[in-house]
Amino acid sequence: MSGAEARAGDRIFPRTLGKLIAGFAWRNRRPYLASAVMLSAIAGLTVWIPRHVGSMVDSLAKGSLAGAALWPPLLMLLGAGLAIYGLRVAWRLQLYATSYQLGRELRIHLFRRLAAQGPAFFQQQRTGDLMALATNDVDAIELAAGEALLAGFDGTLTLILVVAMMSLAINLELALVALAPFPLMAFAFWRISRQIHQASRDALQRFSALNDFTQESLAGVRTLRALGLEARADIEFVRLAEGAADASLCAQRWEAAYEPAVGLSLATAATLVLAMGGYQAWTGVITVGTLTAFSMYLGQLIWPMFAAGWVLSLMERGRAAWERLEPVLNKPLSIADHGTLTRISDGPLVFSKVGFRYPGQEHLALSEISFSLPAGGSLGIVGATGAGKSSIVRLLLRQYEATQGQISWGDSPINDYALATLHASLGWVPQEPVLFSASVAENIALGRPDASREAIEEAARLAAIHDDILRFPQGYETPVGERGITLSGGQRQRVAIARALLADAPLLLLDDALSAVDTHTESTILSHLRERHRHATTTAGRNSIGRMLVISHRLSAVVGAAQIIVLAHGRIAERGSHDELLAMNGWYATQWRYQQLAASLDAEE
C-alpha cells in the first residue's frame, strides 16, 4: 500500500471476495493462464483415456488386437498417465507460488494499515483478533484464490468435456439417464454451502476470541500468578478452546456432507447406467467397449463433483474470512495524513488557544491552552492526575486532532507535516516505554540502526543506564525479552531515554519518563540532559535536540525548565519559572513543599 493509499479514506480493496480474486488473477494472468493451459491438457488427456480403452476393448473382443500389436496402445495409456502426473505437479507449483503472493500482499497491507491507525482505532479492536486476521483469515483467502480457483476451473472443464463425450460421442439417451440425479445433488450443494459459510464465520470468530484471550493472558501472566488467578484463567481458556474446536468441527461436519451427496448421486447414476446400458448392449444398440468407455466416463465425473464441493467449501471459508478482513483494510485512518511538508521548521512550537475533547465525551479535556516552545527552549508541564498533561502529548503526536485552536511548528500547522516527518522529529519517551525482543543495544539503536557502538554507549551514559548494562550477563548484547520483561521499570525507562537521545530528534518529549527511577538517578539524568541541551548544535547533517518538553508529576524534574505550566482541569492555572511559581504560593508551591518533605523523610529512613 502506497503512502497515498494509507492517507486516503477511499476504499482500497473491493467489498466482495470475487472482485478481489478477479483483480489479483488479472494482475497475475500469466501464471494463471499457464496453469489453465496445463489443466486443459490434463482434461483433454483424461477424457481421451476412456475412449481409447473402449476402442481397445472392442478390438480385443473382435480379436484384432493381440500380441505385439497390444503394446503401442498400452504405452500410449502409460504416456498419458505420466503426462497427467507431470502436468498436475507443474500447475500446482505454478499456481500455489502465485496464490501465496496474495497472502503476502494482504499481510503487508494489513500491517501497514494497522501501523498507520491511531489510538481511536485500537480502542475498538482486540489485539488477538487482529493477529487472527493476519493468520487464519488470510490463509482462507489464499486458498480461495489458489486451490479453489483452479480446482473449480479443472472440475468445470473436465465436467464439460466428459458430458460432451458421453452425450455426443457415445449415447445421448444414456447420458441423459446418467445425469438425471445431478439436479438433486446441486440442490444439496447449495444448502450445504450456506451452512458452511455460517459455520466458517463462527469458527473464525471463536478462534479470534481464543487468540485474544491467549495473548492477554501471556502478556499479563505475572499478574495472574500474583493474584492466584491461574485456575480461573485455565477454566476460561478451556471454555474458549472447546468453543473454537466445536465451531471448527461443525464446519467440518458440513464439509463432510458433500461426500455423501456426491456418492449417492453417482451411485444412483451408475445403477441407472448399468440397467439401461446393459439392456442396450444386450440388444446390440451399443457395444461392450462403448459401455465400458461410458462407465469410465461416469467414474470420471467423481472428480468434478468432489471438486465442486471442495471449491464451494474453500470459497465459503474465504468469503467468511474476507467479510472480517475487508472492513479492517478499508477502515479510514483515525487521523488523516494529508501533510506534505517533509522538513521540520526551526521556528517555535506553538499551542494557540487549543481545546480538545475526546471522542464520545461531553467535556473538554483541554481548554484555551497557549504556550510557545522556541528552539533551544525547555518547558515543564505539571499538574494533578487528570489535569490534561497526557492529552497535550497525544495532540503533539497527532494521535488525536485538536477540537479548537491550532498547534503549529514554525510557520506551519502540524497538520501540514507528513506524519512520518512529525513523528521522526519527536524523541518521545512515555511513562510505560515499549521495548522489543532484541538486545539492549538493538533497542537503544531502534531509531538509528546504523549507530556505532560508541554512540550507543554515549546515549546510555547520558540516560544513566550504562553501568547497569555492563552488569548484565552479556552486556549490551543481553536480550531484554518481550516488552523488556527482564528489566526493571526504571531500567526500561532509561533504555527508552537512551533511545530517544540517540535518535537526536529536534524535540525531546519526556512524558513522566522518570517516574520509575529514584530521585538520585533522576537528578543525574536531568543534569546530563540540561548539559547536552545547553551545548546542542547541529552536527553531521542531523538535528540536535533543540527543545525539551518535560511532563512529570515530580516537580524536581521540571525545576530547570525555562518555563513551567501548571494544568488544572484542562486549563493553565499557573505559569512561570520555578522561582516565580514558588513566589505565587499556589498549587505548585504547595506541592513542591510537600514533595520536598516526603523526599527528606525517605532519605532519613
pLDDT greater than 50 at residue 3: no
Count helices and strands in the chain by DSSP H and E runs: 24, 10
55 pLDDT band, cuts 50/70/90, is: confident
- The pLDDT of residue 379 is 92
Averaged over 65-84, what is the pLDDT?
A: 79
pLDDT greater than 70 at residue 8: no
**Which grid coordinates belong to 594?**
510537600
Name the packing angle between helices 182-219 and 230-256 (round to 10°): 170
- The DSSP result for 166-180, as a single string, is IIIII-HHHHHHHHT
In the chain, CATH 1.20.1560.10 covers 8-329
Residue 72, Cα to own-chain centre: how many angstroms?
57
pLDDT (tens digit per residue) in 91-122: 777 777 777 888 888 899 888 888 888 777 88
- The pLDDT of residue 90 is 82
Domain 344-425+507-605 architecture:
3-Layer(aba) Sandwich (3.40)
**Which grid coordinates belong to 563?**
518555563
pLDDT greater than 90 at residue 298: no
- The pLDDT of residue 535 is 61
Averaged over 572-585, what is the pLDDT?
A: 92
Amino acid occupying residue 588 = Y
pLDDT (tens digit per residue) in 357-389: 988 788 899 999 999 998 888 899 999 888 889
pLDDT (tens digit per residue) in 474-484: 888 988 877 77
8-329 CATH pick, 3.40.50.300, 1.10.10.10, 1.20.1560.10, 1.10.3720.10: 1.20.1560.10
Nearest to 137 by CA among 317, 393, 400, 373: 317
pLDDT (tens digit per residue) in 191-248: 887 788 788 888 888 888 888 888 778 777 777 777 777 788 888 888 888 888 888 8
Residues 40 and 44: their CA atoms lie apart, in Å, by: 6
pLDDT greater than 80 at residue 516: no
Averaged over 330-334, what is the pLDDT?
A: 82
In the chain, CATH 3.40.50.300 covers 344-425+507-605, 432-504
- The pLDDT of residue 158 is 76
pLDDT greater than 90 at residue 145: no
- The pLDDT of residue 405 is 92
Amino acid occupying residue 128 = G
Q: What are the residues whose beta carbons fall under 8 Å from the beta carbon of 279, sequence distance 6 or more?
A: none
432-504 CATH pick, 1.20.1090.10, 3.30.950.10, 3.40.50.300, 3.10.20.340: 3.40.50.300
Residues 265 and 160: their CA atoms lie apart, in Å, by: 18
**SS3 (DSSP) at 135:** helix
Averaged over 288-307, what is the pLDDT?
A: 74
When the pLDDT of each residue in the chain is averaged and rounded to a whole number, the result is 81
Strand partners, 575: 565
**SS3 (DSSP) at 431:** coil
Residues 174 and 34: their CA atoms lie apart, in Å, by: 35
Distances (CA, A) of 493 to 85, 222, 409, 501: 61, 20, 27, 12
The 3 state secondary structure assigned to 491-543 is HHHHHHHHHHHHHCCCEEEEECCCCCCCHHHHHHHHHHHHHHHHCCCCECCEC
**SS3 (DSSP) at 354:** strand
How do beta strands 426-429 and 507-511 pair?
Answer: parallel
- The pLDDT of residue 422 is 87
